[in-house]
Structure 1
Amino acid sequence: MIPGADEYDVDLAIADEDVERLLDVTPDDVGPAPPLTFARNVFVPLTTACRYTCTYCTYYDVPGQASLLTPEEVRDICRRGADAGCTEALFTFGDDPDERYTAVHEQLAEWGHDSIHEYLREACEIALDEGLLPHSNPGDQTREQMAHVADLNASMGVMLETTADVQAHGGPRAKSPGQRLATIRTAGELGVPFTTGILLGIGETWRDRAESLLAVRELHERYDHVQEVIVQPVASNERWRGETPGVETLRRAVAMARVALPEAVSVQVPPNLAPVRGVLDCGVDDLGGVSPVTDDHINPDYAWPALRELERIAEAAGVPLHERLPVHERFLDGADGDGRPWLSARIRAELDTASDAGERYRAVLADLPPRQ
């Protein structure tokens, strides 16, 4: 039983034979997946407040030290990103900053917001106004929270990390795998193109990794909404005292992801956090969001590679490299199972508008290879 599944009414039927079949997968069972894609983004860390205290995370700050970007700072970051040719504004903040962060809540109230999601909506409006498509990754969300901002996002995401109960999540505010899965399910119910992923090396077993991938697959099969799954090794930093998984572990996990997931779902390995060249033959087809402007604020010790380095990675694999938008191409014109367009009227209008941003979006789409 997945921890927290009952509490959040998550009903998944992961068959033992599927787990065993996935555990038998090796890199020899998959091959390279041409071409490679990436998105050009700016990283906008709306606040570093977080209700969790995961032992591998350097993103959160303790109460009294957590920052909160002002609307002017958000606009400046987005404007610099648009000037650098970016198409995505990646909004992050810690999960549900709670009453521990009174200064953050007081500041939000002073700005006229009663919650961080209210402020996120304003931030997404700023990004759109500056010519960027928002992709928000604010951790666990209720249906009400996600619905409040979904129409202003081209796509959204949350890392599942693992379906296991691991000590790295421990403490009085431990993450619940059931809640994470409920967030992924909510995205499907609301028709939101979604990115998720697994984190390697935080205390999970190979069986846990297989179950995590199969859980994502089952939710995707219900709603057809998962656009990519990240396979990411935990990175060494000032808070994490454990080991970082080696390339052989990463190779096997990437191969498992490629076998577990439908072909339409991309498998991403972030090039600043993993030895991507060593897994290019294991089914990786996406390098994620890479910023020419901002740091990776979740992993500040690991700089984004320059575009030329991404080109070298693709050259080493013998495949073309294409830039993409934060929402994957298959969602641009389609509809979910209830017949609702994947993209809101607002996002659709931004893509179609006769503006510098609209031309930038169309230039990216024109460079993508034809649909298979």
Structure 2
Amino acid sequence: MIRNPDVIPGAEEYDVDVTIDPAERERLLSVGPEDVAGPGEDGGPDHLSFARNVFIPLTTACRYTCTYCTYYDPPGQASLLSPEDVREICREGADAGCTEALFTFGDDPDDRYDAIYDQLAEWGHDSIHTYLREACEIALEEGLLPHANPGDQTREQMAEVADLNASMGVMLETTADLEAHSGSRRKEPGQRLATIRTAGELGVPFTTGILVGIGEDWADRAESLLAIAALHERYNHVQEVIVQPVSPNERWDREPPSLETMRRTVAMARAGLPETVSVQVPPNLARTRDLLDCGVDDLGGVSPVTDDHVNPDYAWPALDELRAIADDAGVPLRERLPVYDRYVDEDWLSEQVLATVSTVTSTDETGT
């Protein structure tokens, strides 16, 4: 494949002005674990962080049919959590010491699921995003900080809910055009980049990441990381980048990326991103202990009460396991909020979210 050295594939279609410096790409391609610092090392992180969340899948409907994903259900099978369900889950999470309400659903689920659209209309909503706003209000009422991850979003859709979220997110996954995104409703890298850009324009603290092992090559990984870095340098809004291996499941039977592949990719992420942006590996999907020396400083959100609904075959580790991982690295484990400390001010968060942050931090007795 011939690569354009200047423009990310698909970016022009969505008017995303992101270019890749070929020299930077080559620099990242030469990076290995020996070129970065791990926890406790000179120049490395002095602690490992994690967030305690409750996972709330508003619906499993999605307009996409990515071949590696088990999250979506086909039309006729997908359901929608009721406001009462949302409140019950939030209360259970708050009682368990969680600080984050992680809201997920597939991209524009009311776009092709008539039953979802009809249910939303019955509850007084004309879109899933207005319903997400109600769900975020419920979370705040129950003392949790919303972190919504609703896939690709237009500026109007994100603005509908941004003021009620402590942070938001979407996985870039890759800038490559892959067979794994096949079908009449293809996931477009340019649209993902546009969503990350929109978050920056709206001043939303943001989480994104790449998937490893869905058919991309090493240059794709480097370009994806550099695209994220470029958008962050413009807006200063990316708080963490997840390096996530694709995991075998009922729809995806290929081998996961090797440990060597993950080690090199994590090191590339650390070397390609600004120091202020955390590098996260999900401890239920990756061999975290074997990746720490590659520049990992965050273990992501884990839940003591709900499953990982995106990866239901892979259970969250217990808090004791996270402490053991940090002990092995020789650094303390620290619990964080879904919004990183540097964004906790009125320039980034609404008064309502700031009030909940204040309440959560003043009552935190976890001691982690």
Query: TM-score if structure 1 supplies the norm length?
Result: 0.94
1:58, 1:237 within 8 Å by CA — same for their partners in 2? Answer: yes
Q: Which of residues 82, 87, 94 is equivalent to 2:106?
A: 94
Q: Which of residues 28, 48, 57 is equivalent to 2:34?
A: 28
Q: Which of residues 264, 284, 288 is equivalent to 1:252?
A: 264
1:136, 1:156 within 8 Å by CA — same for their partners in 2? Answer: yes
Residue 331 of structure 2 aligns with an amino acid whose one-letter code is: V
Partner residue in 1 for 2:347: 341
Q: Which of residues 10, 13, 16 is equivalent to 1:4?
A: 10
2:62, 2:105 within 8 Å by CA — same for their partners in 1? Answer: yes
Q: CA deviation at 1:7?
A: 1.4
Q: Which of residues 342, 357, 362 is equivalent to 1:359?
A: 362
Partner residue in 1 for 2:81: 69
Q: Which of residues 133, 140, 146 is equivalent to 1:134?
A: 146
Q: CA deviation at 1:2?
A: 2.7
Q: CA deviation at 1:34?
A: 2.5
Q: CA deviation at 1:13?
A: 1.7
> Does 1:328 find its partner at 2:321?
no
Residue 363 of structure 2 aligns with an amino acid whose one-letter code is: R
After TM superposition, the structure 1 = structure 2 runs for residues 91-240 of structure 1, keeping only pairs within 5 Å, are 91-240=103-252
Residue 203 of structure 1 aligns with an amino acid whose one-letter code is: G
Structure 1 Cα separation of the partners of residues 94 and 10 of structure 2: 41
Q: CA deviation at 1:53?
A: 0.2
Residue 101 of structure 1 aligns with an amino acid whose one-letter code is: Y
Q: CA deviation at 1:359?
A: 2.6
Partner residue in 2 for 1:18: 24
Structure 2 Cα separation of the partners of residues 68 and 27 of structure 1: 43
- CA 236–360 in structure 1, closer or farther in 2 if over 3 Å, else same: farther
Per-residue CA deviation, residues 271-304 of structure 1 (Å, 9 max, x unaligned), is: 0000001001010000000000000000000000
Q: CA deviation at 1:350?
A: 1.7
Q: CA deviation at 1:98?
A: 3.9
Residue 346 of structure 1 aligns with an amino acid whose one-letter code is: Q
Structure 2 Cα separation of the partners of residues 307 and 200 of structure 1: 26
> Does 1:280 find its partner at 2:286?
no
Q: CA deviation at 1:99?
A: 3.8
Per the alignment, in what secondary structure is the counterpart of residue 248 of structure 1?
Answer: helix
Query: TM-score if structure 2 supplies the norm length?
Result: 0.95
Structure 1 Cα separation of the partners of residues 317 and 8 of structure 2: 36
1:3, 1:176 within 8 Å by CA — same for their partners in 2? Answer: no
Per-residue CA deviation, residues 34-77 of structure 1 (Å, 9 max, x unaligned), is: 21000000000000000000000000000000011000000000
Q: CA deviation at 1:319?
A: 1.1
Partner residue in 1 for 2:4: none
Structure 1 Cα separation of the partners of residues 104 and 294 of structure 2: 29
Runs of 5+ unmatched residues, structure 1: 334-339
Per the alignment, in what secondary structure is the counterpart of residue 7 of structure 1?
Answer: helix
Residue 16 of structure 1 aligns with an amino acid whose one-letter code is: P
Structure 2 Cα separation of the partners of residues 72 and 99 of structure 1: 24
Partner residue in 1 for 2:56: 44
Q: CA deviation at 1:330?
A: 1.0
Structure 2 Cα separation of the partners of residues 146 and 313 of structure 1: 36
Residue 280 of structure 2 aligns with an amino acid whose one-letter code is: Q
Partner residue in 2 for 1:336: none
Residue 42 of structure 1 aligns with an amino acid whose one-letter code is: V
Residue 19 of structure 1 aligns with an amino acid whose one-letter code is: R
1:85, 1:360 within 8 Å by CA — same for their partners in 2? Answer: no
Structure 2 Cα separation of the partners of residues 304 and 146 of structure 1: 29
Per the alignment, in what secondary structure is the counterpart of residue 281 of structure 1?
Answer: helix
Q: CA deviation at 1:262?
A: 0.8
The CA RMSD measured in Å over matched residues stands at 1.2
> Does 1:310 find its partner at 2:358?
no
Per-residue CA deviation, residues 171-210 of structure 1 (Å, 9 max, x unaligned), is: 1001000000000000000000000000000000000000
Structure 2 Cα separation of the partners of residues 78 and 99 of structure 1: 27
Q: CA deviation at 1:346?
A: 1.2
Q: CA deviation at 1:358?
A: 5.2
Partner residue in 1 for 2:356: 350
Q: Which of residues 290, 299, 316 is equivalent to 2:302?
A: 290
Structure 2 Cα separation of the partners of residues 179 and 236 of structure 1: 26
1:91, 1:134 within 8 Å by CA — same for their partners in 2? Answer: yes
Residue 255 of structure 2 aligns with an amino acid whose one-letter code is: E
Structure 2 Cα separation of the partners of residues 360 and 154 of structure 1: 18
Residue 30 of structure 1 aligns with an amino acid whose one-letter code is: V
Per the alignment, in what secondary structure is the counterpart of residue 229 of structure 1?
Answer: strand
Identical-residue share of aligned pairs (%): 74
